Amino acid sequence: MHITQLNRECLLHLFSFLDKNSRKSLAETCHKLLEVFQDPILWSSLNFSSPVELKKRNFLLGPALKYLSICWYSERVKVCNIEDWMKNNFQKDFCNRHENTVTDFLLEVGNRCPNLLSLTLSGCGHVTDDCLLLLLRNCPSLKTLKLENCVRITDRTLEAVTLYGGSLQTLHVDFCRNITQPGLERVREKCPSVVLRAERSANMIPDSKPEKKFLLEKSSRKLVQL
């Protein structure tokens, strides 16, 4: 029996064992397999190991998506997580090449995947509060939000959780240096049922230029003297 003689249910089951690239390669062999590839049922879960993968046309975004993970563990992640004012020209050029890649992708998810249940982001140094606010607002069923080493995330995301995270059960904001202790306390106060974890976040030094820190310290000393 040829593979195309199998019914749709069997083909979907076979496709479910393949990774994104293999599914795409198989779909390019004939129209029937392409139709199976394009079936939303096949795309309830997506896992990416780098921003580059987000640009490939080897997956389908739609209402069926429930579990999404973008985890970038490359050494290059360290470059993106450096404070912008500390980057040299080479580092800035590297970051500019993919600065909006993850954010643009997540904006699509927010607009096209309202049934998302779980989102995990690790090493996504360019993701912003605005992006996560849209996701929380447009994905009311979101139960799990795990953020690790997402350095641009601030207390604005935590505030969005208190406003739109009605279904949220688990929130991790590990190694997110611009998260503060007051922001975490507000989540604990407003959302007591949420399992909150913030490893090394509120104790890290937030982004600000040295001269800004100096001016703040100088102003504080003047207030004390008065």
| CATH T-level assignment (fold) for domain 43-197 | 3.80.10
Over residues 55-80, the pLDDT tens digits come to: 899 999 999 999 999 998 766 666 66
Tell me the mean pLDDT in the region 193-202: 91
- pTM for this predicted structure: 0.83
User: What percent of the chain is modeled with pLDDT above 70?
Assistant: 79
pLDDT of residue 52: 83
pLDDT of residue 87: 67
Q: What are the residue boundaries of the structural domains of the chain, listed by start?
A: 1-42, 43-197
Q: How confident is the model at residue 2 (pLDDT cuts 50, 70, 90)?
A: confident
SS3 state of residue 31: helix
Q: How confident is the model at residue 125 (pLDDT cuts 50, 70, 90)?
A: confident
Over residues 8-32, the pLDDT tens digits come to: 999 999 999 999 999 999 999 999 9
- Cα 107 to Cα 92: distance, rounded to the nearest angstrom: 23
Place of tokens 């490359």: 74
**Structure-model confidence comparison of residues 22 and 4, the more confident one:** 22
In the sheet with 45-48, reading across from the earlier edge strand, the strands are 45-48, 67-71, 118-122, 144-148, 170-174, 195-197
